[in-house]
Structure formats: C-alpha cells, structure tokens
Amino acid sequence: MDTYDLITRNAEEVVTEEEVRELAEDPDGKRVYVGYEPSGVLHLGHLLTANKLIDLQEAGMEVVVLLADVHAYLNGKGTFEEIRDTAEQMKAQFIAYGLDEESTEFVYGSEFQLDEEYTLDLHELELSTTLNRAQRAMAEIQGGETAKVSHVVYPLMQTLDIEYLDLDLAVGGLDQRKVHMLAREELPELGYDVRPALHTPIVADLTSGEGKMSSSEGVTISMEDSTEDLEEKVNSAFCPPTRDPEGDLENPVLELFEYHVFPRFDEIVVERPEKYGGDLTYEEYESLAADLESGELHPADAKGTLATYLDDLIAPGREKLREIRD
C-alpha cells in the first residue's frame, strides 16, 4: 500500500485530494490532529478515528490529540477538575489501544485557548462569522439540544485550534465536516493557511442499520464492556445476509469489520466446524463481505468472529480502566 492510500484508507472524504497527495509525498514529521471532548470511556466512535491516527503514524506523521477541556466545559460536561480527570483516563486508554506514545502529543485545550492572542483571534472570528453559519457548523455535533451562546463559540475555537496547534492535517468524523469547511473559509481572513482534512465514516446504529451508532442513544461498544457484554451486543446486531436494495440501511457488522478489524489485523480467521465447511481465512474486507452476501459466510459466524477480534482490540483499554479505577 503506497503512502497516499495508507493516509486515506477508510476515509469517507478527502479535502482536498490534491493537498493530501502533496502531503503524502513527504509525510515524515508532519503534524495531524483529532480533538476529543473528554466525555467518558472510549467507544467505537473514538476508536474509528484512532485507527486513522495509527495509519498516519505508520505513514510517518506525528499525532496531536487535543484533549478539549475548554470545549467540554462550554458543552456543560462538568468542572475543569472533573473534565481533566476524565481526559487523563482517555489518554491512558488511547495509548493502551495502540497509539504510539513516542509520536503522540497530548495537549489540553486550556494550555493555549485562554491566552490573549488566541482570545483576540477568537473575537475576530466572532466579528466575521454570522450566527447562522456558526450554528450550521455546530448542528451535527450539538444534536437536538437547544443552542446556547457557548455552542456557537465552540466551532470557532475548533477553527483556531488548527492554526494554534501548528498542524498540517485535520482528522475528524464526517460530523466535523462543517467545522473544517468553516476553518477553510475563515482562517485566510486572519492571515493563516488552510489545511487539508480527512473525514472518517459514521457507523450505523448497531441494532437497526439506520442513522448512526451513538453513545448517548441506542447501543454502542466501549472499553468498559466485558467480553460477555461485547458478545451479546454483537450477536444482537443487525446483519442482513444481502444488501438493502433501497440503499436506506447499512450493515453495521460489515462496517465494523471494514473500519475497525481489517485495519488492525493482517488476517481474519472465521472458525467453523468441518461439517459446516471448515475455517475461512480473509486478508481483505471485500472478500469477507462478498462471502456474506453469497451465503458462504453465515451472519452468525460473522458476528462471532467480529466479537472475538473487537474484544482483542479493546481488552488492553479495558484492563487499563480497571487499573485506573482500582
């Protein structure tokens, strides 16, 4: 796999392809970031972007993880002391999950977001950004909650973070797209360069295949789950043997294989008794997906295998959580 393919693997959107190709020509030492609001135990949403960060480290880039304590405060997630305690737990979980500690820099937002220069730039953005534009940028992140003034300041800060962290590339879920577009529009107005961005997909709801998997609504998988909890959730997941002809539903089991399992394992083995055809071995996602659709791979076998490999991925983080809490 060449460097560009590694950098963009499993990205839903590349903004822009030309800029990222230029970055891929000399990625060593380039700085990429994801910002995480410290909000609790890591779940599959966090880990999808973490998988992309691991790809980028493999490509030679330096990763910056913004532990966005000021953003969390603006979003009503507790006192700064409570938020920072949560952030330290998240940091330990990310390292346990597989981020290279030597090439990962963890930064608290409060280390630079309260400085005078940053604050003055933030006021400049407030002057030049309409209320509607800021609300649009925040809408998908905010959800259905009634908008507060803090909510419209939030995306303006994310825009400035890209400059103040001295970044070459921004990464986020597809729900961050409008924020990154705002940054591309507004940073030049302050005399700063635009940066390219990668957007990772949003995995569908585990039980229905509709909408998106959410830690606040419905079922998600987190580092807090025991092996038994994880198996129960995966076994109850929506997994039709054929694709939805209308294209309205996704298969979350296949999505978890594609975005979580195959990027982290060179080979996937589905263990089956000889009377059911024996073991199946896959080195690429497309082959597994094709076998599920053809009937060669039964949904129950796919789910059992998915649970096993997901458990291998989250087990180190689960153990780290136990250490922290003990």
Residues belonging to the binding site for ATP are 215
Nearest to 291 by CA among 304, 279, 280, 305: 280
Cβ atoms of 85 and 72 within 8 Å: the answer is no
Amino acid at site 302? A
Nearest to 32 by CA among 140, 142, 155, 165: 165
Nearest to 100 by CA among 151, 144, 152, 64: 64
Sequence length of the chain is 326
- The binding site comprises 33, 154, 158, 161, 176, 215
What b/e readout covers 189-217, taking b as 16+ CB neighbours within 10 angstroms?
A: eeebebbbbbbbbbbbbbeebeebbbbee
Q: For residues 259 and 251, give the distance between their C-alpha atoms in angstroms, rounded to a whole number.
A: 12
- Give me the residues paired with residue 67 across strands: 36, 108
- 215's tokens: 């830690």
- The binding site for L-tyrosine comprises 33, 154, 158, 161, 176
Q: For residues 138 and 136, give the distance between their C-alpha atoms in angstroms, rounded to a whole number.
A: 5
Q: For residues 177 and 96, give the distance between their C-alpha atoms in angstroms, rounded to a whole number.
A: 28
Cβ atoms of 233 and 219 within 8 Å: the answer is yes
Task: Give the residue ranges of DSSP H helices in the chain.
Answer: 3-8, 17-25, 44-58, 69-74, 80-97, 116-128, 131-142, 149-164, 177-186, 227-235, 252-256, 285-294, 299-325
